[in-house]
Amino acid sequence: MKAYRTVLGWVEQEITEGRLHIGERLPPERSIAQRLNVSRTSVREAIRVLEAMGMARSGVGSGPDAGTLITADPSTPFTSAMRLHFATSHLPAGDIVQTRLLLEAWAVEHIDAASPFLDSARVLLVAMDDPALEAERFLELDAEFHVALAQAAGNVLISTMMGSLRDAIGQYTLDMISNLSDWGATAARLRSEHHAILGAVLTGNPSEASRLVTAHIEGYYREAGFPSRVG
């Protein structure tokens, strides 16, 4: 086994067995290296991998407080991995869209009416109603609106995957705008569809919300010429 894997295994065991918690610091590199009989370089390599997994943030603080903090950000690895694998074309865009449809339709059917994320969704719609908004900013808010709806369903894994999917194809989605004949008309349609989706959610009509969000996503990708396997 490569030495950095020994370090990774040790960290995972410390977390699993409750000796190391989120928000705490890893012991200094030197002490981990001594304890596991590996080089400090190997410890550093393991820390980089933990950073990539959203499990650590290094270079926190300075002086005696400097170190590596244990964190829990499951979106980090999903987003990076999806972006990288999408880049190789081994993860087809159509599969990503299909997955997004599945997760979002499920989410709007399972929304917790008391979730504060519904307030965020409402605020985002108001921001998107600004007619002076540029396309790039509109699409950012649009992505946040969809992620807020997913968060309101209360499943950490599903909302994390949703956010990562959106991030992974974000640049792609932006590039597609040039395929649209009239961005202003598209934006107006997206606005009214968003209001209808949130309306169905707020009036307690989950199956209508699910139908609307599916039509909304499929319609946009079709119009923009996304390579879809939908339908």
Contact between 48 and a copy of itself by CB under 8 A: the answer reads yes
DSSP 25: B
Q: Which of 10, 27, 36, 74 binds a copy of itself (CB under 8 A)?
A: 74
Which parts of 102-121 interact with a copy of itself (CB under 8 A)? 102-103, 106
Question: What string marks each residue from 78 to 97 as x (binds a copy of itself by CB under 8 A) or -?
Answer: x-xxxxxx-xx-xxx--xx-
| Dist. CA 2–CA 198, nearest whole Å | 51
Q: In angstroms, rounded to a whole number, what is the distance separating the alpha carbons of residues 83 and 45? A: 22
* Residue 57, strand partner residues: 69
163 binds a copy of itself per the rule CB under 8 A: no
For residues 159 and 151, what is the distance between their CA atoms, to the nearest angstrom? 5
DSSP letter, residue 63: G
Categorise residue 67: left if φ over 0, alpha if ψ from -120 to 50, beta otherwise: left
* Interaction between residue 155 and a copy of itself (CB under 8 A): yes
Query: Taking CB under 8 A as the rule, does residue 36 contact a copy of itself?
Result: no
With contacts defined by CB under 8 A, name the span among 137-145, 149-157, 173-181, 184-192 that binds a copy of itself.
149-157
Ramachandran angles phi, psi of 57, nearest 5°: -135, 120
Pairing assessment for the beta strands 56-60 and 67-70 based on DSSP bridges: antiparallel
Taking CB under 8 A as the criterion, which residues in 202-231 touch a copy of itself?
Answer: 229
- Rounded Cα–Cα distance for residues 143 and 160 (Å): 13
221 phi and psi, to 5 degrees? -65, -35
**Which of 9, 12, 30, 35 forms a contact with a copy of itself (CB under 8 A)?**
12
Q: How far is the CB of 11 from a copy of itself (least distance, A)?
A: 9
Binding site for a copy of itself (CB under 8 A): 2, 4, 12, 15-16, 21-22, 41, 44-46, 48-49, 51-55, 59, 70, 72, 74, 77-78, 80-85, 87-88, 90-92, 95-96, 98-99, 102-103, 106, 155-158, 161, 229
